[in-house]
A and B are shown apart, each in its own frame.
Chain A
């Protein structure tokens, strides 16, 4: 969205092709954001407002790219409406790929019981639960879980069953989710099981410290090894590595901060435009060109690697700058 907006503001025309019925991607699923506890809905509404008003932006929701053919200075892109199966073609001079990310399928971690115990869910699923609680008009105190455990690095920093890389944003959003639970249900015990907490950004460290020191979320250093059922609750077993002793907590919900992976469609889409992807399916940039993947092909956001909202906005603007510079050259 950011890229389309900047390109339009610079005087050129942008066509926003979106698979879903609404714009916004994963941001729509979020209830809150770090480090300022803002509502992402406001950001989306603001941008969508500007985009719909702009005469230089065409929004094509529920539309997918089926194929593309490279032309002299651009592409002929074939589109298909997911609503009525109509097909049409578009001639464009540049492309910006922003297909975003999804979470890894963590059912391979049998030891955490995802898909086996109902109280175990991914961070994104939990975000939906937080939304439900916050937006509920009735008295939700009865719903309060007595204990919630959030486990970081599920599928990240894992050479054995998952991905070796760090998914960058989970330490921050886990702190956010943990803090939100305490705000909703102050008597609930909230535990975060971490190996590190990576808070490298403006106001990030203070954010996490606030969650620990003021909201009283208990941080335990140790990657849990087991989630076991006990008396209708869930037992999370780990080592407190700081003491070197095994510990366990009984909770009602276990939230898995699952690894961030590119959507499977990204690789296909990249291939259609001659863009390269890495071994995980993230789009690869060219040498010294962090948001360009191929000639006249740019990218931004989660499809390149795990990133937070501000970073995605910046990359979008950067991709737009690349397009604008290209178009100025063409003239």
Chain B
């Protein structure tokens, strides 16, 4: 596991600025980890993750930022918060992942699964344009982008007939404010 590790790691040459950042920004102290594995045990998607929550905390200790930003788990975490809820030390793993997702976006490291990255992009773009997420619009754009037009089409029709889909979604009243928010935020983080 871990594509970066094909030689023995020299621990005393490792620093973990990430550990420091998490402590300073969010008060998350990974040294309190008891290594019990309760987080991994309860993780909703743990069986699919390449690195389970306990390993993610250990990677933070090892300062393996690149591995963390490139791992599959980063973008398929459901944010169900179970790991945080169960941790005897209260280590906020979902917050760690949030932070890493932001960092990965800044460094333009793509998600392992291209469809996920695409979905997030479209969603964010929609909010920027209209101030809210229109499910239908998002769906249509997503299908168009991925080329999977007919997938889930059957369900879509049923939902529409039941009045649960509104293809025409109005923008938020003050959509200009939303856009300005986006622009200033992206200027600050240069996304």
C-alpha spacing A251/B13, complex, angstroms: 12
- Chain B contacts with A in 101-142, Cβ cutoff 8 A: none
- Chain B contacts with A in 22-69, Cβ cutoff 8 A: 29, 31-32, 35, 54-55, 58-59, 62
C-alpha spacing A229/B11, complex, angstroms: 16
Q: Are A213 and B31 in contact (CB under 8 A)?
A: yes
Report which of B8, B31, B59 forms a contact with A248, defined as CB distance below 8 A. Answer: B8
Q: Are B31 and A245 in contact (CB under 8 A)?
A: no
- Which residue of chain A has its CB nearest to the CB of B14? A247
Q: A213-B31, A221-B35 are in contact. Are A242 and B12 (CB under 8 A)?
A: no
C-alpha spacing A218/B32, complex, angstroms: 12
Report which of B2, B8, B9, B55 forms a contact with A242, defined as CB distance below 8 A. Answer: B55
Report which of A189, A243, A246 forms a contact with B59, defined as CB distance below 8 A. Answer: A243
Q: Does A105 contact B (CB under 8 A)?
A: no
Q: Are A220 and B11 in contact (CB under 8 A)?
A: yes
C-alpha spacing A218/B10, complex, angstroms: 14
What bracket does the count of chain B residues touching chain A fall in? 10 to 19
Q: Does B5 contact A (CB under 8 A)?
A: yes
Q: Does A16 contact B (CB under 8 A)?
A: no
Q: Are B32 and A245 in contact (CB under 8 A)?
A: no
Q: Does B155 contact A (CB under 8 A)?
A: no
Q: Are A247 and B11 in contact (CB under 8 A)?
A: yes
Q: Are B9 and A248 in contact (CB under 8 A)?
A: yes
Chain A residues with CB below 8 A from B2, complex form: 243, 245
Chain A residues with CB below 8 A from B62, complex form: 240, 243
Chain A residues with CB below 8 A from B59, complex form: 243
Chain B residues with CB below 8 A from A248, complex form: 8-11
- Which residue of chain B has its CB nearest to the CB of A212? B31
Chain B residues with CB below 8 A from A218, complex form: 11
Q: Does A147 contact B (CB under 8 A)?
A: yes
- Chain A contacts with B in 22-72, Cβ cutoff 8 A: none
Chain B residues with CB below 8 A from A221, complex form: 35
Q: A212-B31, A213-B32 are in contact. Are A243 and B55 (CB under 8 A)?
A: yes
Q: Are B12 and A147 in contact (CB under 8 A)?
A: yes
Q: A213-B29, A213-B31, A213-B32 are in contact. Are A243 and B58 (CB under 8 A)?
A: yes
C-alpha spacing A242/B62, complex, angstroms: 11
Q: Are A246 and B8 in contact (CB under 8 A)?
A: yes
Q: Does B1 contact A (CB under 8 A)?
A: yes
Chain A residues with CB below 8 A from B29, complex form: 213
C-alpha spacing A191/B10, complex, angstroms: 13
Q: Are B12 and A244 in contact (CB under 8 A)?
A: no
Most buried by A among B2, B8, B35, B55: B8
Q: Does A17 contact B (CB under 8 A)?
A: no
Q: A213-B29, A213-B32, A243-B2 are in contact. Are A249 and B12 (CB under 8 A)?
A: yes
C-alpha spacing A209/B35, complex, angstroms: 12
C-alpha spacing A248/B9, complex, angstroms: 6
Chain A residues with CB below 8 A from B8, complex form: 237, 246-248
C-alpha spacing A237/B31, complex, angstroms: 22
Q: Are B55 and A249 in contact (CB under 8 A)?
A: no
C-alpha spacing A212/B8, complex, angstroms: 24
Q: Mark A216-254, 1 if CB is under 8 A from B, else 0.
A: 101011000000000000000100101111111111000
C-alpha spacing A91/B120, complex, angstroms: 89
C-alpha spacing A218/B14, complex, angstroms: 12
Chain B residues with CB below 8 A from A242, complex form: 35, 54-55, 58
Q: Are B31 and A244 in contact (CB under 8 A)?
A: no
- Chain B contacts with A in 135-188, Cβ cutoff 8 A: none
Most buried by A among B12, B31, B35, B62: B12
Q: Are A247 and B58 in contact (CB under 8 A)?
A: no
Report which of A212, A243, A250 forms a contact with B10, defined as CB distance below 8 A. Answer: A250
Q: A243-B62, A244-B1 are in contact. Are A249 and B11 (CB under 8 A)?
A: yes
C-alpha spacing A250/B2, complex, angstroms: 23
C-alpha spacing A218/B58, complex, angstroms: 12
Chain A residues with CB below 8 A from B54, complex form: 242
- Which residue of chain B has its CB nearest to the CB of A245? B5
Task: Quote the shortest CB–CB distance from A200 to chain B (angstroms).
Answer: 15
Known: A191-B11, A247-B8. 4 other contacts (CB 8 A): A221-B35, A237-B8, A240-B62, A249-B10
B interface with A by C-beta (< 8 Å) = 1-2, 5, 8-12, 29, 31-32, 35, 54-55, 58-59, 62
Nearest 8 pairs of A and B residues by beta carbon: A246-B8, A249-B11, A213-B31, A247-B9, A245-B5, A242-B58, A248-B8, A249-B12
Q: 12 A-B residue contacts at CB 8 Å?
A: A147-B12, A213-B32, A220-B11, A237-B8, A242-B35, A242-B58, A245-B5, A245-B9, A247-B9, A248-B9, A249-B11, A249-B12
A interface with B by C-beta (< 8 Å) = 147, 189, 191, 209, 212-213, 216, 218, 220-221, 237, 240, 242-251
